[in-house]
Amino acid sequence: MMKGLSKSLLFFFLTTTGWLLIVPVQAQSDIRLEKLLRKKKFEKVINFSEKRLQKGEDDSIAHYYLLAALLDKGSRARGTAGVPDFENAFRHYDQHPNVHFSASHERLLKPKFRAAAVQLSRHYKGRQDSLAHYYVSFIATHFHDTLALYREYAQKYRPPAAPASPPVTAPSTPGSKVWIETGKWKYAIPSEQPTGMSIIKKSEEVLGTPWKMGGLEPHKAFDCSGFVIWCYQQFGYELPHNTRLLASISEPVALPDAQPGDWVCFGSREYQPSKVYHIGMVHSREGDLVRMIHCGTSTGVTVAELNRGYWSDLDYFIVRLKGTRPAGD
């Protein structure tokens, strides 16, 4: 009886003192990062934050300081020297969509990202307009900031004027397009829509194309949304270059009804566009076996099975672009 009581007391003591030790250490680490950031010791902040994230990727404070250091370092660089730091910050944020920042950290990050987006968009404008568009649309999507700058680039992807509620029925002129407006966003579908298999056959022509953030060039580089919109672009579609925007202008499709050319959105089992961090297309389906063609960061454009291996453990939902008939028809 006494032995059992002693063990319980010892366990309680160790647990309690463990918490007493851990909490101050965590707080000291946070204070250290804040001091280093204020002293503009950006490399030290980056290295220290990365070490903390190796111990646990759910450390939102480490994510914040890593992003803040990259963005501050980029903003203080001369000329184009800060471009790689800005791009690393955008890439890190995009690859960790489930990190929940505190309201204060979110407020601090937003103007930093906005300023970086302005610089990156100006840097790439006229060189890689698709990449310039990507950065300003990133701010619109992640921080709900439409930006006057974004509208400047968006004009290339939507007409200067369109009916408030345009009909979905195709016009009679061959090769013409129907512009559809959903909230703030507009996109175009061709009057003569292709079959889903036609889109998939076109996508297979660029198998092996490597991944690059903002990529929109066949055989050179795609990112995941760039690959999807390029495939659709070949048939007259005009779509936003952003995963979450693509999901938001679509409607959910049940797995048994999925057709080649439909979009596979990763981030949730239910239709939640705001959580999407990766997108691909249904390549083929044989019973319960579903294949996806997509552009992965490590694989480039490839075909993968959703029911097996790495992808089988991830949450996803399937959508179809609004205003289109079933992609397989």
- Ramachandran bin of 323, using left for φ above 0, alpha for ψ from -120 to 50, beta for the remaining angles: left
- What pLDDT is recorded for position 168? 39
Contact 267, 277 (CB under 8 A): yes
Which two tokens mark 133? 């568009």
pLDDT digits (tens, 9 = 90+) for 69-104: 999 999 999 888 888 899 889 888 877 777 888 989
pLDDT at 164 over 50: no
* C-alpha to C-alpha distance for 212 and 217, rounded to whole angstroms: 10
* C-alpha to C-alpha distance for 13 and 86, rounded to whole angstroms: 47
Counting every residue written for the chain, the total comes to: 329
Among the residue ranges 39-43, 69-73, 212-216, the one predicted with the least confidence is: 212-216
Cα atoms in the 13 Å half-sphere on the side-chain side of 259: 14
- What pLDDT is recorded for position 184? 62
pLDDT digits (tens, 9 = 90+) for 232-291: 999 999 888 888 889 989 999 998 889 999 999 999 999 998 889 899 999 998 877 899
pLDDT digits (tens, 9 = 90+) for 116-158: 888 888 888 777 776 777 777 776 666 655 555 555 554 444 4
Contact 128, 214 (CB under 8 A): yes
How do 263-266 and 278-286 pair as beta strands?
A: antiparallel
What mean pLDDT do residues 306-316 have?
Answer: 89
Computed from CA positions of residues 83, 151, 243, 101, in that sequence, does the dihedral angle turn out positive or negative? positive
How do 289-296 and 177-182 pair as beta strands?
A: unpaired
**Measured distance between the N- and C-terminal CA atoms of the chain, rounded to whole angstroms:** 75
pLDDT at 206 over 70: yes
Angle between helix 60-76 and 42-55 (nearest 10): 160
Count the helix, strand and coil residues of the chain and give each as a percent rounded to the nearest 5.
Answer: 50, 15, 35
How do 216-217 and 221-222 pair as beta strands?
A: antiparallel
Domains defined along the chain, listed by start: 2-154 (1.25.40), 180-321 (3.90.1720.10)
Rg (CA), the chain: 23
- What pLDDT is recorded for position 141? 62
pLDDT at 324 over 90: no
- What pLDDT is recorded for position 80? 87
Which two tokens mark 312? 């089988």
